[in-house]
Amino acid sequence: MHLRIKLLAAFLFSISTFQAFSQSVDDKKLIRHIAYLSADDLKGRKTGTVENDMAREYIIDELRTSGINTLYADFTEEFRFQSRREGKTLVGKNVIGFVPGTVSKKIIVITAHFDHVGIGKATAEGDSIFNGADDNASGTAALLELAKYFVENPPKHSMLFAALDGEEMGLQGARALVADFPFDLDQIALNINMDMISRNEKGELYASGTYHNPELKSILEEASAGKKPQLKFGHDLPGTGSDDWTKSSDHGAFFEKGIPHIYFGVEDHEDYHKQSDEFKNIDPQFFIDATNLILSCVLRFDEVLLKE
């Protein structure tokens, strides 16, 4: 009798251990993604450049390999916009993957922009490439592994994964997606945006947006309890100027349409929008932990939002 109890306990422990282990992304691929997307060869991934095309093709290849569905030809939503800075019309291209829900018709939209600012004035060391490792190869890498996770572990809600272009030129890709969304906007339960999630000296990751969506805070607190990095709230209070992140990244396009959002990101660091935002300066363990923390939050949202 005692042997049976011990065997049962060992079996249940092995199941719980497997479940806990399985609720994580592939950390090696995560690091591989950010290394490639922020490499010098991609020259800062500026919208409208050959190197931006290279980044997009990499993202498409990874999504296709994951087995994810799409709602667009070759995963691509093309859009055009007038760039005052460039003085011409530019073509941007979002990359869209879709995982149908098993229960709900509502959609959780997960976004991260893959473009950055390209090449600029060289530093004293001769570095002219704005690699954008944290901003936002990090969010894009996380998006790829979250998409793969939910292909392998089908969610209750449908999930649309959008690697967005043209963020650095005024949230152009996000605005294009919202303007021509493949479903009624009313079907969107939540936008989760990731932008700059690979480093923070204090071990902190922010979830901005709970001021406007206070019902989401307790869900995030529950999902993040006991996990690293420390999940903090704020940077969403109206009237606080640049400290208010509500429209600072692609979630702003969803906010403007009245769609609930949570923006995961870190506070600005010394390499923000500088040539030194390179792969060598990310914190790999922080990045892995942050991505798995976001996964935990998405999993909890997928459960709890069904009750609304």
**What's the domain count of the chain?**
1
Residue 127 near residue 24 (C-beta atoms within 8 A): no
Rounded Cα gap, residues 202 and 155, in angstroms: 32
The DSSP result for the chain, as a single string, is: -HHHHHHHHHHHHHHHHHHHHHSS--HHHHHHHHHHHTSGGGTT-BTTSHHHHHHHHHHHHHHHHHT-B-SSGGGEEEEEEEETTTTEEEEEEEEEEEE--SS-S-EEEEEEE--B-EE-S--TTS--EE--IIIIIHHHHHHHHHHHHHHHS--SSEEEEEEES-GGGTSHHHHHHHHT-SS-GGGEEEEEEE-S-S--TT-EEEEE-TTT-GGGHHHHHHHHTT-SSEEEE-S--TT-GGG--TTSSTHHHHHTTT--EEEEE----TTTTSTT--GGGS-HHHHHHHHHHHHHHHHHHHHHGGG-
In a domain, residue 7? The reply is no
The pLDDT, as a whole number, for residue 293 is: 98
The pLDDT, as a whole number, for residue 18 is: 39
In a domain, residue 10? The reply is no
In a domain, residue 12? The reply is no
Residue 29 near residue 37 (C-beta atoms within 8 A): no
Query: Per residue in 72-127, pLDDT tens?
Result: 999 999 999 998 888 899 999 999 999 999 999 999 999 999 999 999 999 999 99
Task: Show the low-confidence residues of the chain (pLDDT under 70).
Answer: 1-22, 307-308
In a domain, residue 13? The reply is no
The pLDDT, as a whole number, for residue 115 is: 98
In a domain, residue 234? The reply is yes
Domain containing residue 202: 25-307
Query: Per residue in 38-47, pLDDT tens?
Result: 999 999 999 9
In a domain, residue 301? The reply is yes
The pLDDT, as a whole number, for residue 14 is: 42
State the burial class of residue 55 (Cβ atoms within 10 Å of its Cβ: 0-12, 13-18, 19+). Answer: buried
Rounded Cα gap, residues 35 and 14, in angstroms: 34
In this structure, the number of other CB atoms found within 10 A of the CB of residue 283 comes to: 17
Residue 238 CB partners (closer than 8 Å, separation 6+):
211, 244, 246
In a domain, residue 236? The reply is yes
Rounded Cα gap, residues 232 and 230, in angstroms: 6
The pLDDT, as a whole number, for residue 296 is: 98
In this structure, the number of other CB atoms found within 10 A of the CB of residue 41 comes to: 9
Domain CATH for 230: 3.40.630.10
Length of the chain: 308
In a domain, residue 64? The reply is yes
